[in-house]
Structure 1
Amino acid sequence: MVGSGLRVLFCGINPGLLSAETGHHFARPGNRFWPALHLSGFTPRQLKPAEQSELLDLGLGITNVVDRPTAQAGELSRSEFAAGGENLVKKVLAYEPVWLAVVGVTAYRAAFNLPKAVMGRQERTIGPTRVWILPNPSGLNAHYTLPKLTAAFAELRAASSMP
């Protein structure tokens, strides 16, 4: 779900099994991506994963670092992350979103071999695209409650000048 003219391209780690089965990003019911996206002001209402195509009309898109579905991201190899990072750079250079928002600092670190990267705005750019790291919205990421996730997403929304 990528197109031209995006303000923000959100990038998940890889599809979970349910996402692969349905073809919808962040499809697992416990995933907090869709609630955080709405509560932070990116969407006028909470979209369902099956409504992901509506994001394009809002100047938003979704992709993944790694395309291979797994039950857990920990099943991915370093080489898969490295190859995924290379493919993501090509995609970003082709579409030139204003922002790339990677959801998951561990995935960002692995994909770009930047072990000390932290959440938030990054100094690095990919062509003209600025980079932001958001917390992983998976229900397994207990460190980030929905209010904390929403606040992190809202910081990016403010930086991206989204209404």
Structure 2
Amino acid sequence: MIPYFFKKATILFVGINPHYGSFERSIPFSNNKLFWYLLARAGLIQENEADLREDSKLKKMYMERFNRMYHLGFVNIVDRPTRVVTELEKGEEESGRTRLVQIIKTYKPPVVCFIGKITYQKFTGNKKVSFGWQKDMNHSKVYVMHFPLHGKASVRVEELKMVAREAQLFE
């Protein structure tokens, strides 16, 4: 099970569900660590990429610094791990949607960043979703970023920098 951190998050990252490897390690996006490298390249975390490659160091950073020091949060809509998102059953996101709405209402993160269109589609139930800024939700800005595994890393780094500026993580 992946522990979620969302209290005092300036940016709350929302994933769809974990891959088996990430679930077993109890670290989001640890099966393919590109998400973590992108956070470092965008300046949201000050961590050495070599350290992020090592599961033990990545887990220590996630458990001890991700939320407390960097003021970032993470939650998946669906807790059940799958190899691919198409293995999710229709309606499986319902309880996670309710939980996420409650987290946003209660903790009021300045920015909620959905990782990938599919994540936001599952959350909203709307198939027509574009990347970028969406309608605010309970005073939180909402952004849909490109999924970190496909395409140019530079696009994702720029997206993360823009999200950080909006959340006022950078001066």
TM-score, length-scaled by structure 2: 0.84
Which residue pairs with 2:55 in the alignment?
A: none
How far did residue 15 of structure 1 move? 0.9
Inter-partner Cα distance in structure 2 for 1:77 and 1:84: 13
Please list, as runs of the form range in 1=range in 2, the aligned pairs for 1:4-153 lying within 5 A after superposition.
4-28=7-31, 30-46=32-48, 48=52, 49-50=58-59, 51-53=61-63, 54-56=65-67, 57-125=69-137, 127-138=138-149, 141=150, 144-153=151-160
Inter-partner Cα distance in structure 2 for 1:110 and 1:62: 17
Which residue pairs with 1:161 in the alignment?
A: 168
How far did residue 104 of structure 1 move? 1.0
Which residue pairs with 1:2 in the alignment?
A: 5
Letter in 1 for 2:145: L
Query: RMSD over aligned Cα, in angstroms?
Result: 1.6
Inter-partner Cα distance in structure 1 for 2:136 and 2:89: 24
- For the 8 Å contact 2:12–2:72, the answer to whether it is kept is yes
Where does the alignment leave 5 or more consecutive residues of structure 1 unmatched? none
Q: Deviations over 1:114-147 (max 9, x none)?
A: 222211111231x222211111113xx2xx2211
- For the 8 Å contact 2:6–2:12, the answer to whether it is kept is no
How far did residue 151 of structure 1 move? 1.5
Where does the alignment leave 5 or more consecutive residues of structure 2 unmatched? 53-57
Instruction: Point out 4+ residue stretches in structure 1 off by more than 3 angstroms.
Output: none
How many residues were matched structurally? 157
How far did residue 23 of structure 1 move? 0.6
Letter in 1 for 2:132: G
TM-score, length-scaled by structure 1: 0.88
- Compared CA separation, residues 3 and 87, structure 1 to 2 (3 A): closer
* Percentage of matched positions with identical amino acids: 23
Inter-partner Cα distance in structure 2 for 1:85 and 1:117: 17
Letter in 1 for 2:44: F
Q: Deviations over 1:9-59 (max 9, x none)?
A: 11111111011111111111x341101111111112246331212111211
Inter-partner Cα distance in structure 2 for 1:44 and 1:85: 31
